[in-house]
Every structure is written in structure tokens, then in C-alpha cells.
């Protein structure tokens, strides 16, 4: 993942939501109007009003402390501030085999695509992986994951449509042990985050894998569609309450004008963002890189 691809993915956020910032960075004096406009820009990039106010106040204070009178140094101060919200420690590396990762999220957020992409990525790094298709809710789900698995040359355990997703997770965990795989990636079905059935189903999937594999699931990855912006934070809270989410995978960062939501998520939920989806292709999944993200988010001075 190059700096250029980060810039390409965040183009819309940078241009549409934060475009005005380049004028601000270029303004000669740091007047109260400049600070007001900074705050407005930040709100537009889906940071949320409270966080936008907090960042503006902190940037303003730092600018005063440094004796900055012109806006030129503002980009650097803002950049440092934004980065400070993103430096959350990643989940501890668990040295167990098989490591179980469960993918959760509302319908259409990008779970299946992301699980398949990550499986391929891990496999390319030399790890043995297995996919579990524990989405038996949607009739075509089987076919979709099978297509991905074939395309990426990853093995998959399927359940019958309408069967118990807990049973699929159980079979997959058994297969993972028997085959000695390193990582089992469990895809789950999506529904609204307010669905009780979904949450009960996810809890069962987690319980069932934990019966066969100590400590499983070791990672619960919440897949959030970055185009949903602030609503993603509400979704995240619902999943966090039901299952022990360990991290966020922020999908569809490409094409979103709400890319600033990554900051709101980190700040408000205290969860690390571990991966981002930057397109629909098999290679369009990258480890989250806070430095590259912030650099690509802000327009040039």
C-alpha cells in the first residue's frame, strides 16, 4: 500500500469535506474566523460535532503556545493532533493455533469480501487459512463466498442455506483443528444492528468455537462501512455490547466522503482500526496506517 493509493482512496473526503482547509492553511492570519471554519470543515468530514470542537480547541491552543500568528504551521499541528487519536495499540498477537477471527457487521458492510481478502493475504504470507461460511441467512451467501474462495484459492467450509450458523462454526472449528490450519476466518450474516436474532446468533457462533478451541474467538472484527459515517459509531456500540469486538475493519474508504469517521471511531470507541478496505478488488485490503491516513486526509498546505 503506497502513500499514493491512500491519497487516491481519501480523495473524496479530502476534496469534498476538507477541501476548504487548503484555503485556511493558506490564509495569512489566524483570525477567529479561521478557527470557526476549521471546525465546520471537520464536522463535514464526519468527525462528529464534539470531536470537531475538541480538535479545533486543541489546535488553537497549540498554535498559541507556539506563538503562531500565521496559518502556515496549522497543518502540522492539526496533523499531529489527528494522529494522537489514532495511536491505539493493536490487539495483542495471540500465538495459538488455530487462531479464530469472527467477522461481524450490519448487512452489506463488507464482511464477506473483507474476510476473503484477508484470508488470501494471510495465505500469501505463508499461513494456512480456512474460511467458514456461517452466513446461512441470505440464500446467495454460499455462492458468493464460494466464488471468492475459488478466485483466491482459499478453502471454505459451507453450511446449507437456512441451517444453524452455530453448527457451521462448529464444523469449521473441527476442520480447522483436524487440518492444522493457522487461522480460521468466520464470515457471519448481516442484519440491522438492532436485530436481537442476529446478536443471539453471533453470541452462539462465538460460544461454539470457544468450546472447541480455548480462548476462541481470539479476534472479533467489526466491519464498518465508512460511507455510513457517524451512524457507524452507533452500530459499533451495539456489536460491542453483544460480542467482544476487538477491532474495526473500515471498509469502502475509497469513494467515501466521510473518511474522517475513522477518527471518530478511534476516539469514541477506543477500538483499534486494524484494516481498511480500499476497493472491491482482491488486493484492496490494507493494514491501517495512521500516518499515511492522516497525511492523505489533509489537503496540502
Ligand X SMILES: Nc1nc2c(ncn2[C@@H]2O[C@H](COP(=O)(O)OP(=O)(O)OP(=O)(O)O)[C@@H](O)[C@H]2O)c(=O)[nH]1
Instruction: Pick between residue 121 and residue 252 the one whose CB is nearest to ligand X.
Output: 252
Sole binder of ligand X in the list 228, 251, 268, 274 (CB under 6 A)? 251
Does 246 engage in binding with Mg ion (CB under 5 A)?
A: no
* Nearest distance from C-beta of residue 89 to ligand X, angstroms: 24
Does 228 engage in binding with ligand X (CB under 6 A)?
A: no
Does 165 engage in binding with ligand X (CB under 6 A)?
A: no
Q: Are 104 and 247 in contact (CB under 8 A)?
A: no
* Angle of helix 261-269 versus helix 231-242 axis, rounded to 10: 40
Instruction: Pick between residue 34 and residue 221 the one whose CB is nearest to Mg ion.
Output: 221
Interior/surface letters 106-134, b for 16+ CB within 10 angstroms, e for the rest: bbebbbbbbbbbbbbbbbeeeebbbbbbb
* Angle of helix 261-269 versus helix 49-65 axis, rounded to 10: 90
- Partner from Mg ion, ligand X, none contacting 107, C-beta within 5 to 8 A by type: ligand X
* Nearest distance from C-beta of residue 187 to Mg ion, angstroms: 6
- CA 20 to CA 16: how far, in whole Å? 8
* Nearest distance from C-beta of residue 33 to Mg ion, angstroms: 47
Which range in 32-40, 56-64, 195-203, 248-256 contacts ligand X by CB under 6 A?
A: 248-256
* Nearest distance from C-beta of residue 249 to Mg ion, angstroms: 13
- CA 226 to CA 255: how far, in whole Å? 9
* Nearest distance from C-beta of residue 280 to ligand X, angstroms: 4
Strands 273-277 and 285-287: antiparallel
Output the CA angle 191-137-134, nearest 5 degrees: 100
* Nearest distance from C-beta of residue 274 to ligand X, angstroms: 14
- Partner from ligand X, Mg ion, none contacting 23, C-beta within 5 to 8 A by type: none
Strand partners, 156: 131
Which range in 53-61, 65-73, 109-117, 261-269 contacts ligand X by CB under 6 A?
A: 109-117
Handedness of CA 231, 56, 5, 301 (dihedral sign): positive
Does 283 engage in binding with ligand X (CB under 6 A)?
A: no
Q: Are 162 and 138 in contact (CB under 8 A)?
A: no
Q: Are 290 and 84 in contact (CB under 8 A)?
A: no
- CA 169 to CA 188: how far, in whole Å? 9
Sole binder of ligand X in the list 12, 88, 193, 252 (CB under 6 A)? 252
Question: Which x/- pattern over 80-119 shows residues binding Mg ion (rule: CB under 5 A)?
Answer: -------------------------------xx-------
Does 277 engage in binding with ligand X (CB under 6 A)?
A: yes
Does 128 engage in binding with ligand X (CB under 6 A)?
A: no
* Nearest distance from C-beta of residue 122 to ligand X, angstroms: 17
How many alpha carbons lie under 13 Å from residue 169 in its C-beta half-sphere? 29
Cα separation of the two ends of the chain = 24
* Nearest distance from C-beta of residue 161 to ligand X, angstroms: 13
- CA 296 to CA 67: how far, in whole Å? 27
- Partner from ligand X, Mg ion, none contacting 110, C-beta within 5 to 8 A by type: ligand X
Positions that interact with Mg ion (CB under 5 A) = 111-112
Positions that interact with ligand X (CB under 6 A) = 105, 107-113, 135, 138, 141, 189-190, 251-252, 254-255, 277-280, 284
Amino acid at each position: 500500500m503506497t502513500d499514493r493509493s491512500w491519497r487516491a482512496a481519501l480523495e473524496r473526503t479530502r476534496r469534498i469535506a476538507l477541501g476548504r482547509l487548503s484555503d485556511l492553511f493558506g490564509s495569512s492570519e489566524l483570525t477567529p474566523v479561521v478557527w470557526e471554519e476549521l471546525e465546520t470543515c471537520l464536522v463535514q468530514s464526519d468527525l462528529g460535532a464534539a470531536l470537531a470542537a475538541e480538535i479545533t480547541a486543541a489546535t488553537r491552543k497549540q498554535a498559541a503556545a507556539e506563538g503562531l500568528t500565521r496559518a502556515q504551521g496549522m497543518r502540522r499541528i492539526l496533523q499531529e493532533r489527528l494522529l494522537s487519536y489514532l495511536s491505539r495499540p493493536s490487539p495483542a498477537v495471540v500465538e495459538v493455533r488455530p487462531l479464530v477471527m469472527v467477522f461481524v457487521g450490519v448487512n452489506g458492510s463488507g464482511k464477506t469480501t473483507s474476510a476473503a481478502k484477508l484470508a488470501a493475504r494471510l495465505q500469501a504470507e505463508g499461513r494456512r487459512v480456512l474460511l467458514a461460511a456461517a452466513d446461512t441467512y441470505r440464500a446467495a451467501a454460499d455462492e458468493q463466498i464460494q466464488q471468492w474462495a475459488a478466485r483466491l484459492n482459499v478453502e471454505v467450509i459451507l453450511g446449507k442455506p437456512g441451517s444453524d450458523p452455530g453448527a457451521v462454526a462448529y464444523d469449521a472449528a473441527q476442520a480447522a483443528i483436524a487440518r492444522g490450519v493457522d487461522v480460521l476466518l468466520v464470515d457471519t450474516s448481516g442484519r440491522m444492528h438492532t436485530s436481537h436474532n442476529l446478536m443471539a446468533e453471533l453470541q452462539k457462533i462465538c460460544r461454539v468455537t470457544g468450546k472447541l478451541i480455548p480462548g476462541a474467538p481470539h479476534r472479533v472484527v467489526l466491519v464498518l462501512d465508512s460511507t455510513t459515517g457517524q451512524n457507524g459509531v452507533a452500530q459499533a456500540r451495539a456489536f460491542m455490547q453483544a460480542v467482544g469486538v476487538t477491532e474495526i475493519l473500515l471498509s469502502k474508504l475509497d469513494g467515501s466522503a466521510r473518511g474522517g469517521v475513522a477518527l471518530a471511531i478511534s476516539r469514541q470507541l477506543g477500538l483499534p482500526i486494524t484494516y481498511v478496505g480500499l476497493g472491491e478488488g482482491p488486493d484492496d485490503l490494507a493494514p491501517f496506517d495512521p500516518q499515511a491516513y492522516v497525511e492523505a486526509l489533509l489537503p496540502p498546505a
